[in-house]
Amino acid sequence: MLRDKLNEALKEAMRARDTATLGTVRLILAKLKEVDIAARTETSREGVADDRILSMLQTMIKQRNESVALYEKGGRPELAAKEKAEIVVIERFLPQQMDEAAVGAAVAEAVAATGATSVKDMGGVMAALKAKYAGQMDFAKASAAVKKALS
């Protein structure tokens, strides 16, 4: 379904002659094709699932945020503005992000569901969160919340 939304956004950007959106959606689709090819096996030629696409989009946003910081530090505001514009376009395809209270509740639920008792069990809790909330939460913040809950 997300793949269809991306293709439709590409067509809309072409019709509207929105070059900024068009370029960003093309970048997303190129990265998606790369991920699809990497995930191929001898028996399966299917594309990756939506949760993997959401993860890819979050990675793209993280990369752009890092670039913005570097560009601003290097005195290149025009390049930072371009990266920020790409972030806005990419975020259109992500579901609504969870607030801190919702992340805390999800962490507590995942800790209870996995039976985690110490920081050693953190990997299982994070795996459960990623499976259930892909694209909906910042897993760096969730990781800190899990660590706090388990210590």
pLDDT in tens, 99-117: 888 888 888 898 888 888 8
Q: Using alpha carbons, select from 90, 105, 89 the residue that is nearest to residue 137.
A: 105
Based on the domain organization, do 82 and 108 belong to the same domain? no
Average pLDDT over residues 47-54: 86
Q: Where does the pLDDT of residue 35 fall: very low under 50, low under 70, confident under 90, or very high at 90 and above?
A: very high
Is there a single domain that holds both residue 76 and residue 15?
Answer: yes
Alpha-carbon distance values, 55 to 4, 8, 42, 116, 121 (Å): 17, 20, 24, 24, 22
What's the one-letter identity of residue 92? R
Q: Are residues 138 and 109 in the same domain?
A: yes
pLDDT band at 34 (very low <50, low <70, confident <90, very high): very high
Total number of domains in the chain: 2
Structural domain boundaries, residue 63: 2-91
Output DSSP code: residue 77.
H
Pair 70, 134 in one domain: no
Question: Model pTM greater than 0.75?
Answer: no
